[in-house]
């Protein structure tokens, strides 16, 4: 990886590690994404295996999925965040890893990337989505957020990179994913761009 990209990723890791408790507390104080998680869950079987990439401390998303009867594997770059998730939900699997390099030993009924994908460069986002598609069970479901297209900035001190919806849809076609829903600027979740897709294979 070029030095500049490694430096950006290091800054992301440092930010979340340094501010883990504060960020975790802030996340526990809001749950705007529940409506999208409900749509995601409608597509899943009972007791589904779900992968959360960029899981943080497991609140509130993973708690909601676990309380809905599902089994979680969470990956996060921050050791402090993963420690929080392990303490809260010891019966589930939590891994400290860079999601770009993570390897999976099983397929998943659903994968979530909420507020995590856009910390990568555009080509890294596409590469990760390609890998994620390979981890989905047949008819598996993918829920993720992106930054606005052509956006490249630092938000709250952390790198953000936008992804063009046209590129996302072209990637879906290549990966045989079907778009279930897309909100380019969902005001109920603070203006996030949100995608829900399903594996056709």
Bridge partners (DSSP) listed for residue 196: 143, 181
Q: Indicate the burial class of 169 (C-beta count within 10 angstroms; 0-12, 13-18, 19 or more).
A: middle
- How do residues 159-183 score in pLDDT, each as one tens digit? 556 788 999 999 999 999 999 999 9
Q: What rounded mean pLDDT belongs to the chain?
A: 87
- Please tell me the distance from the alpha carbon of residue 55 to that of residue 66, in angstroms, as a whole number: 13
How confident is the model at residue 127, as a pLDDT? 95
pLDDT, residue 8, reads 47
Above 60 in pLDDT, residue 102? yes
What is the Cα–Cα distance from 75 to 197, expressed in whole angstroms?
20
54-78: pLDDT as tens digits: 999 999 999 999 999 999 999 999 9
Indicate the Cα dihedral angle 172, 35, 192, 44, nearest 10°: -20
Residue 141, domain extent: 3-199
Structure-model confidence comparison of residues 130 and 13, the more confident one: 130
Residue 51 is part of a domain; what is its CATH number?
Answer: 3.40.50.150
> What are 131's strand-pairing partners?
none
Domain count, the chain: 1
The pLDDT assigned to 23 comes to: 65
Task: Tell me how far CA of residue 171 lies from CA of 24, 102, 160, 194, 195, in angstroms.
Answer: 32, 21, 20, 15, 13
Contacts of 17 (CB under 8 A, 6+ apart): 77, 78, 79, 80, 81
Q: What is the enclosing helix (H) or strand (E) of 124? A: helix 122-135
If we measure between CA atoms, which residue out of 61, 56, 51 comes closest to residue 31?
Answer: 61
Percent of the chain with pLDDT over 90: 68
Six-digit token string for 37 = 């998680």
Q: Is the pLDDT of residue 6 over 50?
A: no
User: What is the value of pTM for the model shown?
Assistant: 0.85
Answer for the pair 102, 75: CB distance below 8 angstroms, yes or no. yes
- Residue 135 in contact with residue 108, Cβ under 8 Å? yes
More confident residue, 43 or 147: 43
């Amino acid at each position: 990886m070029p030095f500049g990209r490694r430096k950006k990723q290091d800054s992301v890791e440092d930010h979340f590690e340094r501010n883990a408790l504060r960020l975790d507390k802030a996340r526990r104080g809001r749950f705007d994404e529940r409506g999208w998680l409900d749509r995601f869950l409608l597509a899943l079987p009972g007791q589904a295996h779900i992968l959360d990439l960029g899981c943080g401390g497991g609140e509130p998303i993973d708690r909601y999925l676990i309380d809905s009867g599902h089994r979680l594997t969470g990956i996060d770059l921050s050791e402090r965040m993963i420690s929080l998730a392990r303490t809260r939900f010891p019966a589930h699997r939590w891994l400290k890893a860079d999601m770009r390099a993570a390897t999976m030993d099983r397929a998943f009924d659903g994968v979530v990337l909420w507020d995590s994908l856009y910390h990568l460069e555009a080509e890294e986002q596409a590469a990760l989505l390609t890998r994620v598609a390979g981890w989905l069970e047949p008819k598996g479901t993918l829920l993720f957020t992106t930054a606005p297209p052509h956006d490249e900035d630092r938000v709250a001190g952390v790198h953000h990179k936008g992804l063009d919806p046209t590129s996302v849809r072209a990637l879906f076609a290549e990966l045989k994913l079907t778009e279930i829903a897309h909100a380019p600027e969902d005001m109920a979740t603070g203006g996030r761009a949100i995608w829900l897709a399903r594996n056709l294979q």
